[in-house]
Amino acid sequence: MKDSLAIPALTEDLVRVLIDADTINRRVDELARQISADYATSGGNLLVVGVLKGSFIFTADLTRRLSVDHVVDFIALSSYKGDTSGNVRLLMDTRENMEGRNVLIIEDILDSGNTLDYLIRNFKTRNPASVKTAVLLDKPDRHVVPVEIDYIGFTIPDVWVVGYGLDYAEKHRTLPYIAEMYPQA
């Protein structure tokens, strides 16, 4: 058991640890407290929708600390990188009906804003009571589409990050910290 808790060392494709596990943990605690307080006064009926795959760890950690009743669901999308039109494709929809519910979207990272812009618009057509957003990481230098975010974990520079759910070609997703990658050739 002890071994499984050891912090994995940086591999040679990683530049440095950008946000360590303790710092992530404390921030997720704060966000969970803030979100719980906000939804305690907004009528309950909270539906949390994690965006796969990148947000699966953040969603799990955050929802386990919520002190308000909630239901967890997931959605899977793929975006075409390098396509400036911001095409987003729905791979797997939520199972829950959003009608009349307070929906909180959980995303790993806000980059161009295309994914969240698509999701917010799409969810609003389903007659929810409200749609709010929580992102673990925000890269303000990369925004193309303006998106209103209600909860932000950390603001980071324009570098490719992995770990805590985020990957590079499916690598590094389960690192307990967020690390900066060397730019790929």
Q: What is the C-alpha to C-alpha distance for residues 138 and 128, in angstroms, rounded to an integer?
A: 25
Site for ligand 5GP contains 166 (CB under 6 A)? yes
Q: Interface residues with Mg ion (CB under 5 A)?
A: 51, 54, 108, 167
Q: Which of ligand 5GP, Mg ion, none does residue 79 bind to, with CB < 5 to 8 Å depending on kind?
A: ligand 5GP
Catalytic residue among 61, 108, 111, 117: 111
d(CA 160, CA 148): 22
Residue 54 as a binder of ligand 5GP (CB under 6 A): the answer is yes
Determine whether 111 is an active site residue.
yes
Strands 178-181 and 161-162: antiparallel
**Among candidates 59, 72, 70, 71, which has minimal Cα distance to 31?**
59
163 makes contact with ligand 5GP (CB under 6 A): no
Selected from 105, 108, 132, 151, the binder of ligand 5GP by CB under 6 A is 108
Name the pairing type of β-strands 46-52 and 151-155: unpaired
The smaller minimum CB distance to ligand 5GP, of residues 61 and 111, is found at 111
Question: By CB under 6 A, which span of 14-22, 90-98, 126-134, 166-174 interacts with ligand 5GP?
Answer: 166-174
121, exposed or middle or buried, with CB in 10 Å at 0-12, 13-18, 19+?
exposed
Please name the residue that has the structure tokens 């389903």.
126
Nearer to ligand 5GP, 33 or 121 (CB): 121
